[in-house]
Structure 1
């Protein structure tokens, strides 16, 4: 069943709140909560929890389980009795599960961690110290690496009309980290170390209308609008097993994930850009889908390109009807 969604209106630009920019060291000791949204994480969730137990032994740890039907719940209760396990009767999605974890947790610093990610030595101490030392800093992302040892994006380029036009008329920009010495505008939620008071200043963690994908881009845009800064910290490293389908639109293989990604991107423009830019991006996406269809006739990746084009056109149709994609089994996992 297709869900109706409320409009995502553009929001006013609130001024920074100096009273919220107090150093965390004014409230000793700083408490830390780790929130892990899980759906059928299995052994990857166990490895994630083991790394947290070793490298953040003082942290409060919550697992928000999105109606897993594997042995995730039983294994967590058996092997990690000190972990707070919140069991949901239905899969509410990645954003909703993390929001619930944020509400249930007590830490001044929240660590949002994917269930398929592991902390590596020496842990996230450097990220936490950055937040303690810099009161205007809202969130930090550690260095991310894959199981092949290669770096994964931990500082993404912000959505822009220029990038959208380039991928239609010139080339499609590759997914990858941008130079962190420039202004950081988008940190992925793979592992995000964030101040609770920063979240409170923007009305909470994730907008749950972004059921899957782009919820982190929306959060970063709201934090920046409120006057907060974002940063990366390469002194901390996280291993991200990750699904190949979650590394960007080029490699997403599931048609449903492709659809959620394309739809979330349109909702981001609808919420954070002018109406003219939002309508323009709809037209640009239709043109890009046409280019993908043409490429699918000649390229080796014809099935992937055709699936991407179909997902983009379906996302445009749903957006114009003010609807969201149907939720299916397995959606909402990351």
Structure 2
């Protein structure tokens, strides 16, 4: 059997949906929910909507994601433990397929499903690349020399398309903690679940690195599917940056790349954004301007980064298709880049989309 962990923070309806998806996929599953809200009213709402088999652990304060998961991990009864974000849910067959993979691959320390942005599975959220100061330096260089930016962006795109159109499981050096099955023995060999110095963000990068050092491998099982209603919210940036600083201090304190990056930014202070055309949005539906007179199938990417790292991918965009109304509100204020092309297109046409500050509903 499997134990599952969800950390709630003022999102009782989403958490209840996530828990229900787990129990529907695997009845009898142990589901532990940690309420980090530190709010008695939210706790009561949460307990009211959670399915009855769920165990609710109420924290006296907001412990953060990592520490909250650790609390539940200490109560988990089974060898396999599945972590799930409250704004995510599994699709039928996800847990049994991940479990079967772990049972067939004893050196797998963790496995993740293929993750989509929407229930219709039109938009794919590929797994992140492992972070590090060398990656940051290359990306900084790529933003200053367009020829290098094109090479880096195309290489990442080609790798993602290769993996995410494959039917076979594929290895990764990092997996997101938002939808992740772990082997308890591997976690213990790696020194425990999450380092509690990480309040939120980069704790999964740290765990992935420790699992690899302990001799375990990380995989994505594309036969298992989940949905993550990821929200691009600039308000997250301070927490992301704080987690990144801890990660770099812990694993890359002697790296020369941060200093090289500062020198680069001083000598070449202004990044050169890729050539793009502005695209306006006037409704909750964003139509995708497919090239005329050319044959698809069309692949569309949307990203908050001009080099499309990371990005959401639609692998088969059809004429008249676009970013549906349920997805547009998940784009917080800021600039986004949209790229359209075929699998063979080296430099697909790029558009820039600006979303002004507005109220965002989760």
The TM-score with structure 2 as length reference comes to 0.64
Q: Output one character per residue of 1:32-78: Cα deviation in whole Å (capped at 9) or x when no partner.
A: 10000110113211211211121121210100010254865324423
- 1:41 matched to 2:11: yes
The structure having more radius of gyration, on CA atoms, is 2
Q: CA deviation at 1:157?
A: 1.2
Corresponding residue for residue 149 of structure 1: 121
For 1:104 and 1:132, the matched residues in 2 are separated by 22
Q: Which runs of 4+ in 1 moved over 6 A?
A: 172-177
Q: CA deviation at 1:86?
A: 0.4
Q: Output one character per residue of 1:116-149: Cα deviation in whole Å (capped at 9) or x when no partner.
A: 1111112321111111111100000101111273
For 1:190 and 1:50, the matched residues in 2 are separated by 16
For 1:77 and 1:67, the matched residues in 2 are separated by 13
Do the aligned residues in 2 keep the contact of 1:156 with 1:187 (CA within 8 Å)? yes
Corresponding residue for residue 328 of structure 1: none
More helix by share: 1
- 1:270 matched to 2:249: yes
- Structure 1's 281 and 60: CA in aligned 2 closer, same or farther, altered over 3 A? farther
For 2:116 and 2:40, the matched residues in 1 are separated by 27
- 1:51 matched to 2:39: no
For 1:166 and 1:71, the matched residues in 2 are separated by 47
SS at match of 2:177: coil
Name the structure, 1 or 2, with higher relative contact order (CA <8 Å, separation 6+): 1
Do the aligned residues in 2 keep the contact of 1:63 with 1:84 (CA within 8 Å)? yes
> How many residues in Structure 1 have an aligned counterpart in Structure 2?
263
Which blocks of at least 5 consecutive residues in structure 1 are unaligned?
Answer: 1-30, 246-252, 306-333
For 2:225 and 2:256, the matched residues in 1 are separated by 37
SS at match of 1:194: strand
For 1:125 and 1:229, the matched residues in 2 are separated by 19
Q: CA deviation at 1:92?
A: 1.0
Q: Compare 278-287 and 100-109 and name the one that shifted more.
A: 278-287
Corresponding residue for residue 177 of structure 2: 189
Q: Output one character per residue of 1:105-126: Cα deviation in whole Å (capped at 9) or x when no partner.
A: 1111000000111111123211
Which of 75, 78, 95 does residue 124 from structure 1 map onto? 95
SS at match of 1:275: coil
Do the aligned residues in 1 keep the contact of 2:117 with 2:125 (CA within 8 Å)? no
Q: Output one character per residue of 1:197-230: Cα deviation in whole Å (capped at 9) or x when no partner.
A: 1111011101111111111000000000111000
SS at match of 2:74: helix
Corresponding residue for residue 326 of structure 1: none
For 1:287 and 1:128, the matched residues in 2 are separated by 50
For 2:205 and 2:250, the matched residues in 1 are separated by 11
SS at match of 1:244: coil
Which blocks of at least 5 consecutive residues in structure 2 are unaligned?
Answer: 144-148, 164-168, 279-303, 305-332, 336-361
Q: Output one character per residue of 1:75-104: Cα deviation in whole Å (capped at 9) or x when no partner.
A: 442342221100112111011101111111
Corresponding residue for residue 61 of structure 1: 31
Corresponding residue for residue 103 of structure 1: 74
Corresponding residue for residue 107 of structure 2: 136
Q: Output one character per residue of 1:4-44: Cα deviation in whole Å (capped at 9) or x when no partner.
A: xxxxxxxxxxxxxxxxxxxxxxxxxxx31000011011321
Corresponding residue for residue 32 of structure 1: 2
Q: Output one character per residue of 1:262-303: Cα deviation in whole Å (capped at 9) or x when no partner.
A: 2322322222225133653773696599546x97xxx989x8
Corresponding residue for residue 57 of structure 2: 86
- 1:243 matched to 2:231: yes
Which of 168, 190, 197 does residue 209 from structure 1 map onto? 197
RMSD: 3.2
- Structure 1's 121 and 285: CA in aligned 2 closer, same or farther, altered over 3 A? farther
